[in-house]
């Protein structure tokens, strides 16, 4: 399904594993004037909440249903796939054992850039810095070969906010149809949340991932809050979906911070803001996608490094 014109008329199936992938499936369907079926992995409470909110906003889904494991029956029934995680072991198995007519890859954050490099053969077909089993490596090679075969037939596409990145744009030379995702649908269907003020801090999974110590992270938050004028309203802290409740309790106790739980990806929560926002974040996909979601609003997104 590199392009909607190549779809035979069957309902495409979106197979997604994160809130961003789910949102990008809605964007893809809207951009191509399609109604799609969605199978979303129950990878956390935000998945069901995001699916419900998208349906509430009239996302072009025939149905959106949760699943555990691999939705083999749906994948066999629907031969045009919209896939969020090209490195998933489940996807590798399905790509190897089944015969999709077309595959479109939607954003899995900046991992999409790494996937482009893997498809082009510049890096191994695996997530960065991960050691994989021999079986998973074998399935990765087979999945890559099958995707490139689809590309040569004009049936592999990538729908991404990173379409201008050299690694992604270069896939066109392999026959991949690269289309830009500018988050037009979410902007057109925006329902911005109430915030205490214009300043927003995006939560991070850095502590959970053990790339930052808790105290270093809290010190960074204190430094961000300290930049505000004394009479400024609290900064809204939008938690990352993988942050622990213990860490969020410590964040909420910081002076000048108001915890704002939306249960939704920030792209959905902040789109359509009534006033320009000052957003501060550690390096993350959300910081990059928000720049496109909030384009034209006067909002600014600042990416920092916690030291």
Residue-wise pLDDT tens digits, 244-259 = 999 999 999 999 999 9
- Tokens 């890859």, residue? 105
- Pick the closest to residue 42 from 70, 17, 21, 63 (CA basis): 17
Pick the closest to residue 23 from 52, 45, 2, 62 (CA basis): 52
Nearest residue to 260 (alpha-carbon basis) of 277, 43, 17: 277
Q: Where are the alpha helices (DSSP H) in 80-133?
A: 89-97, 111-119
Tell me the mean pLDDT in the region 276-295. 91
pLDDT tens digits, one per residue of 259-269: 999 999 999 99
pTM for the complete prediction?
A: 0.90
Select from 3.30.1330, 3.40.50, 3.40.109, 3.40.1050 the CATH code of 4-187: 3.40.50
- The residue among 259, 265, 273 whose CA lies nearest residue 289 is 265
Q: What average pLDDT does the structure give for the chain?
A: 91
Between the alpha carbon of residue 258 and those of residues 192, 234, 249, the distances in Å are 17, 6, 11
Q: How confident is the model at residue 284 (pLDDT cuts 50, 70, 90)?
A: confident
Q: Is the pLDDT at 292 greater than 80, yes or no?
A: yes
pLDDT reported for residue 93: 93
For residue 38, the cross-strand partners are: 14, 64
DSSP 60: S
Is residue 56's pLDDT more than 50?
Answer: yes
Check whether 129 has a pLDDT greater than 80. Answer: no
């Amino acid at each position: 399904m590199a392009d909607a014109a190549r779809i035979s008329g069957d309902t495409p199936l979106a197979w997604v594993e994160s809130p961003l992938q789910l949102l990008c499936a809605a964007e893809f369907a809207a951009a191509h004037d399609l109604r799609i079926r969605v199978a979303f992995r129950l990878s956390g409470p935000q998945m069901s909440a995001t699916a419900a909110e998208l349906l509430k906003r009239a996302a072009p889904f025939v149905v959106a249903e949760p699943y555990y494991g691999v939705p083999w029956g749906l994948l066999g029934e629907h031969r045009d796939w919209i896939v969020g995680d090209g490195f998933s072991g489940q996807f590798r198995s399905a790509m190897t054992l089944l015969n999709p007519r077309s595959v479109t890859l939607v954003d899995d954050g900046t991992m999409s850039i790494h996937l482009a490099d893997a498809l082009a053969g510049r890096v191994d077909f695996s997530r960065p810095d991960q050691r994989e089993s021999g079986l998973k490596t074998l399935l990765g090679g087979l999945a890559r070969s099958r995707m490139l075969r689809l590309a040569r037939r004009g049936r592999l596409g990538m729908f991404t906010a990173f379409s201008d990145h050299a690694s992604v744009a270069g896939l066109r030379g392999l026959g991949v149809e690269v289309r830009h995702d500018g988050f037009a649908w979410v902007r057109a269907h925006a329902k911005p949340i109430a915030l205490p003020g214009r300043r927003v801090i995006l939560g991070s999974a850095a502590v959970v991932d053990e790339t930052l110590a808790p105290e270093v992270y809290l010190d960074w938050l204190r430094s961000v809050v300290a930049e505000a004028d004394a009479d400024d309203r609290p900064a809204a802290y939008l938690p990352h979906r993988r942050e622990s409740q213990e860490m969020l309790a410590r964040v909420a106790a910081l002076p000048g911070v108001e915890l704002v739980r939306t249960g939704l990806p920030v792209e959905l929560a902040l789109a359509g803001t009534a006033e320009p926002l000052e957003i501060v974040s550690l390096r993350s996909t959300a910081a990059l996608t928000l720049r496109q979601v909030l384009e034209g609003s006067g909002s600014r997104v600042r990416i920092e490094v916690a030291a």
